């Protein structure tokens, strides 16, 4: 925003203080009730600065303090959208979103501050941001497909709807991995419950030969879920590094070597991609067929951490996405990578 640049030149001290108060207010809203010491640690700011900002916000009637911690008042809630906009603009996130969108051809990019690699709380912010944006994309009668993983779990926990939404939520792929709480089936059921919608499940082994796969597809309940999956209106998925995913899923040595030799850097929706976004290998489990999706299907990727920057970039190059939700660490690295290609 031009007026922010003007304020930086006219009164940088005032601008810095306004930005600090905006940051404190939005974090109180996200973490309430929260104590000053906990908030200072979360923001990596001196406690005295957080105390001063909180005192000013309280004097303006924007927050309240009691024994349980600080909370935002109704007056504070009313200005919170503008506060978030100010905070993001001052940090340069709004400009970063626009540049990343243009660099990778993504319709919309949303960036949470920080780097999930060094701050575990950032993943919660990414999940909260993704849940809000996806909820706004959904309409009654839509089908939402969702993958598994820790980032998707954070998104599922943050999903909410003021009124029941008639949506069908399905897992984007089969698989019965070791971590039940982050499986696609579990998250599909949780998101459906939080939205007030419905869900279908795919209880299938993670690895099958082609003969077994074809037999499973003959089952009516599996066929129904797959048909719904292929007609999905929105696909919400995470992004993994190819090496991490291959190790976690215990791929046979021959396949792992094939991926390594092919330059695989990313995994999403059961597919492994090279740095240019070319699919090198598809999972043997029952799941989504990317080539068979409807043209109107909107893809939403959610992933965070600078370690995943190359993987996220590869998936963005693989096919058009309506939305990417990531963090500052990944976004900055992705932008540097784009400038060298």
**CA distances, 116 to each of 92, 196, 261 (Å):** 18, 30, 29
Query: What is the residue whose two structure tokens read 């051809």?
Result: 105
What is the spatial distance between Cα 93 and Cα 111, in angstroms, rounded to a whole number? Answer: 7
Architecture of domain 93-339: 3-Layer(aba) Sandwich (3.40)
pLDDT at 56: 96
Helix (H/G/I), strand (E/B), else coil: 262: helix
Task: Could you please state the CATH topology (level 3) that the domain comprising 2-91 is classified under.
Answer: Arc Repressor Mutant, subunit A (1.10.10)
What is the spatial distance between Cα 117 and Cα 7, in angstroms, rounded to a whole number? Answer: 33
**CA distances, 208 to each of 15, 146, 217, 220, 315 (Å):** 59, 21, 12, 18, 25
pLDDT at 205: 63
The residues near 54 (Cβ < 8 Å, ≥ 6 apart) are: 24, 28, 36, 39, 63, 65, 70
pLDDT at 235: 97
166 touches 192 (CB < 8 A): no
DSSP-H helix ranges across the chain: 2-10, 12-31, 36-43, 47-59, 74-91, 93-104, 121-137, 150-158, 184-195, 210-217, 220-230, 242-248, 253-262, 309-318, 328-339
pLDDT at 307: 97
If we measure between CA atoms, which residue out of 337, 305, 168 comes closest to residue 239? 305
pLDDT at 103: 96
Name the β-bridge partners of 171.
Answer: 146
Q: From the CB of residue 21, how many other CB atoms can be counted at a distance below 10 Å? A: 20
pLDDT at 196: 95
What is the spatial distance between Cα 326 and Cα 112, in angstroms, rounded to a whole number? Answer: 6
What would the DSSP string read from start to end of 94-152?
Answer: HHHHHHHHHHHT-S-EEEESS-TTT-THHHHHHHHHHHHHHHHH--TT-EEEE--SHHH
What confidence tens digit (pLDDT) does each residue in 106-119 have? 999 999 988 999 88
124 touches 112 (CB < 8 A): no
Weakly modelled stretches of the chain, pLDDT under 70: 1-2, 174-179, 204-210, 212-214, 217, 284-286, 340-341
The residues near 6 (Cβ < 8 Å, ≥ 6 apart) are: none
What would you report as the CA-atom Rg of the chain, rounded to the nearest whole angstrom? 22
Name the β-bridge partners of 143.
Answer: 168
What would the DSSP string read from start to end of 46-65?
Answer: -HHHHHHHHHHHHHTTSEEE
If we measure between CA atoms, which residue out of 196, 13, 27, 192 comes closest to residue 114? 27
Domain ranges in the chain?
2-91, 93-339
Residue 33 preceded by cis peptide, ω within 30 = yes
Q: Tokens representing 130? A: 């993704």
Query: What is the residue whose two structure tokens read 């200072």?
Result: 40
Q: Tokens representing 44? A: 């990596």
pLDDT at 112: 92
110 touches 324 (CB < 8 A): yes
pTM above 0.75, yes or no: yes
């Amino acid at each position: 925003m031009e007026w922010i640049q003007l304020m930086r030149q006219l009164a940088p001290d005032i601008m810095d203080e306004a930005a600090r108060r905006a940051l404190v207010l939005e974090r109180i809203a996200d973490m309430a009730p929260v104590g000053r010491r906990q908030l200072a640690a979360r923001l990596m700011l001196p406690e005295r600065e957080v105390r001063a900002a909180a005192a000013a916000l309280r004097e303006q009637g924007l927050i309240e303090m009691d024994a349980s911690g600080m909370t935002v008042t109704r007056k504070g809630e009313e200005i919170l959208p503008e506060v978030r906009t100010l905070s993001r603009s001052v940090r340069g996130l709004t400009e970063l979103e626009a540049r990343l969108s243009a660099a990778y051809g993504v319709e919309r990019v949303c960036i949470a501050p920080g780097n999930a690699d060094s701050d575990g709380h950032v993943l919660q912010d990414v999940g909260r941001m993704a849940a809000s944006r996806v909820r706004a994309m959904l309409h009654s009668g839509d089908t939402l497909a969702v993958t598994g993983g820790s980032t998707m779990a954070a998104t599922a926990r943050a999903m909410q709807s003021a009124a029941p939404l008639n949506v069908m939520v399905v897992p984007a792929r089969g698989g019965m991995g070791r971590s039940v709480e982050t499986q696609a089936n579990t998250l599909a059921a949780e998101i459906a419950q939080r939205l007030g919608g419905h869900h279908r499940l795919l209880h299938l082994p993670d690895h099958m030969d082609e003969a077994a796969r074809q037999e499973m597809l003959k089952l009516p309940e599996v066929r129904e879920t797959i048909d719904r999956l292929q007609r999905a209106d929105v696909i919400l998925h995470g992004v993994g590094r190819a090496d991490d995913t291959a190790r976690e899923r215990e791929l046979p040595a021959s396949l792992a070597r094939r991926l390594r030799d092919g330059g695989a850097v990313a995994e999403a929706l059961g597919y492994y991609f090279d740095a240019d976004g070319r699919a090198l290998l598809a999972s043997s489990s029952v799941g989504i067929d990317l080539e068979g999706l409807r043209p109107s299907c909107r893809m939403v990727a959610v992933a965070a951490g600078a370690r995943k920057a190359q993987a996220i970039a590869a998936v963005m190059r693989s096919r058009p996405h309506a939305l990417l939700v990531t963090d500052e660490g990944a976004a900055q690295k992705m932008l540097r990578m784009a400038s060298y290609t």
